[in-house]
Every structure is written in C-alpha cells, then in structure tokens.
A and B are shown apart, each in its own frame.
Chain A
Amino acid sequence: QQQVKQSPQSLIVQKGGISIINCAYENTAFDYFPWYQQFPGKGPALLIAIRPDVSEKKEGRFTISFNKSAKQFSLHIMDSQPGDSATYFCAASPVNAGNNRKLIWGLGTSLAVNP
C-alpha cells in the first residue's frame, strides 16, 4: 500500500521551463513533508521541506506548495536548468513521532532538463 503517491514517474522539461512534481498522501497524521534530490551514483539529499502550517515555502528556484484539505503537495522548480536533472522523491512523516522517525517515501520522479 503506497501511502504517498508521486507523479509523474518521469518528466522532461526544456531549460528555463517550470518543472512540477506532485504528491498525494492519505494519512492525516503526516505533518512533515520533505523533498529529496538524488543525482546518479549518489544518495538522496534533502532539498526542501514544509510543515502544514504554511501553504508555500520557497528556497531559491525551488518551491513547495501545500494543500492540506486536498492532502496534496507539490514541488515547483522555476527556471529549470540541466544541472537540476536528477531523481526527486517526496516523503512524509508525523512530526512528533517519538522513536519512530521513519519517512514514508514516494516512488520518485526522474527529471531531465534539456539544454
């Protein structure tokens, strides 16, 4: 059972365009939503994260939009660059989960930005 559904599976964008990756979750106990970026041959690395008390968080060209009522969140990459070509994972977890710090992961989106 996939508790965090990520789409699309793959995405091709032209340089300078906007890349949009969407995630939907089911568990209303989730209230921490990070995005990880993974380059080939490397492990994932935290890109940006959001808590549901805000609807949007921006860091440089990367923005998370969050819709609590719809239980959806998305990553927007503005002015996409070839260097952004990577696999992106969304994830979710409860914040104050005691000893359970497990993240529930989406299946990933492979982004290719054409020069």
Chain B
Amino acid sequence: DAGITQSPRYKITETGRQVTLMCHQTWSHSYMFWYRQDLGHGLRLIYYSAAADITDKGEVPDGYVVSRSKTENFPLTLESATRSQTSVYFCASSDNRQGAGGGLNQPQHFGDGTRLSIL
C-alpha cells in the first residue's frame, strides 16, 4: 500500500544502547522529517532532509543521527539512548512540487509514530 510507514511501532530499550527507528515512504517525496512529540512541547523537529544525501538539523538534533541514501528511506538513530529521549517519534514526508494556490508548500504526511521507552 502506498503511504508512509514507521517501524517498530513500540520499542523498549535501555540507556546507552543504540536504537534505530525506520521510516519508509512510497510516494517518492523529496522532503522527509523526523519529529518527537512530548507533552507540553508539541512537535519538535529533530532532523529533515530535502533529498537523498541532503540532511539538516532541526530544533533538537543532539543525540540523534540520520541518513538518507535512498529517497524512500529516512532512518533515525539514537547512538546512545538516554531517558530524556523517551518519546513518541513521528516521521513525515512532503512533495516538492508546486502546492495548491501557488507556492511551494505541500502538506506533510505523517506516519503513525514509534513509541520509544528508554529504561
């Protein structure tokens, strides 16, 4: 099915471990984003990517690493997990074509999230 999928949906790990969250989209969207969602903080951008091999930091990038070797995949790695990284993580993608009504903005399409608990 077309869309954006995240895996795993739930993950429990321990502090200090490396963990990778996967994101795959089938639309060939140029842009992909990683957010974390925490109570009281809304959605905070971790990293984003404008195309394969082009990534940039968002608002809260410390402790996270991303890569984008293929357009459809955008994995997020926590190199050494900490309790403060317990959160719900969302991946999103958007097209780069002209949006409705002019301009370049296209909707961001979100996955259903990964709930990550770090003990």
B94 at the interface (CB under 8 A from A): yes
Contact between chains at A102 and B50 (CB < 8 Å) = no
Contact residues on A (Cβ < 8 Å of other chain), bracket: 20 to 34
| Most B C-beta atoms less than 10 A away, residue of A31, A93, A96, A103 | A103
Contact between chains at A103 and B42 (CB < 8 Å) = no
Inter-chain CA distance A87–B106, complex, in Å, is 21
Contact between chains at B103 and A95 (CB < 8 Å) = yes
Name the interface residues of B84-99: CB closer than 8 Å to any CB of A: 90, 92, 94, 96
A97 at the interface (CB under 8 A from B): yes
The segment from A37-45, A60-68, A71-79 that touches chain B is: A37-45
- Determine the chain B residues whose CB is within 8 A of the CB of A93 once the complex forms: 105
Contact between chains at B103 and A51 (CB < 8 Å) = yes
Contact between chains at B42 and A107 (CB < 8 Å) = yes
Q: Contacts A32-B103, A43-B92, A43-B113 known; A105 to B43 CB distance under 8 Å?
A: yes
Least distance between A111 CB and chain B CB atoms (Å): 15
- Determine the chain B residues whose CB is within 8 A of the CB of A89 once the complex forms: 42-43
A46 at the interface (CB under 8 A from B): yes
- Determine the chain A residues whose CB is within 8 A of the CB of B61 once the complex forms: none
Interface residues of A (CB under 8 A from B): 31-32, 34, 41-46, 49, 51, 89, 93, 95-97, 99, 101-103, 105-108
